[in-house]
A = this chain, B = another copy of it.
């Protein structure tokens, strides 16, 4: 079942899976300053819901179109000291590659996030799918677009950590 083509695809899938894990670690380990670096300088980061996407609404609950905006968001989170009061745990599914060539990759990847508050209460915070477009560079992949499609339309992300 193994062809040169599927081997190349496996390599992309492995690189993607590593990237997704590193992205999750940056958030889960409270290394938020690393978060914007996963994105291109000009990029789209959006958090929306499955319902919104199905209805064709372009607007999400969070929207940024540059790495600088993501950096501002991290600064705001640090100033608000929100990051002390809760932490996330991402569990990431296997990336599903919908397109891959030498320059870009498109993939969709399921996720579940567990949130733990400072008092120790843990709960299922979010589930959904990352819809990603990535640029392939010699040594790394970076997000041109990351649309976080949450399964629920009850997304409480005001002043919270990124997904």
Q: How far is the CB of A162 from chain B (nearest CB, A)?
A: 16
Q: Which residues of chain B are within 8 angstroms of A126 by Cβ–Cβ distance? A: 122
In the bound assembly, the distance between CA atoms of A139 and B5 in angstroms comes to 13
Q: Which residues of chain B are within 8 angstroms of A136 by Cβ–Cβ distance? A: 1
Chain A interface helix/strand/loop/mixed: mixed
Candidates B1, B22, B110; contact of A15 at CB < 8 Å: B1
Q: Is the CB of B89 within 8 A of A121?
A: no
Q: Is the CB of B110 within 8 A of A24?
A: yes
A62 at the A/B interface (Cβ < 8 Å)?
Answer: no
How many identical subunits does the complex contain?
3
In the bound assembly, the distance between CA atoms of A2 and B18 in angstroms comes to 13
Candidates B22, B93, B128, B152; contact of A121 at CB < 8 Å: B152
Given contacts A50-B87, A94-B21, A123-B124, whether A114 and B28 have CB atoms under 8 Å apart is no
Q: Is the CB of B121 within 8 A of A124?
A: no
In the bound assembly, the distance between CA atoms of A129 and B96 in angstroms comes to 21
Q: Is the CB of B153 within 8 A of A17?
A: no
Q: How far is the CB of A101 from chain B (nearest CB, A)?
A: 13
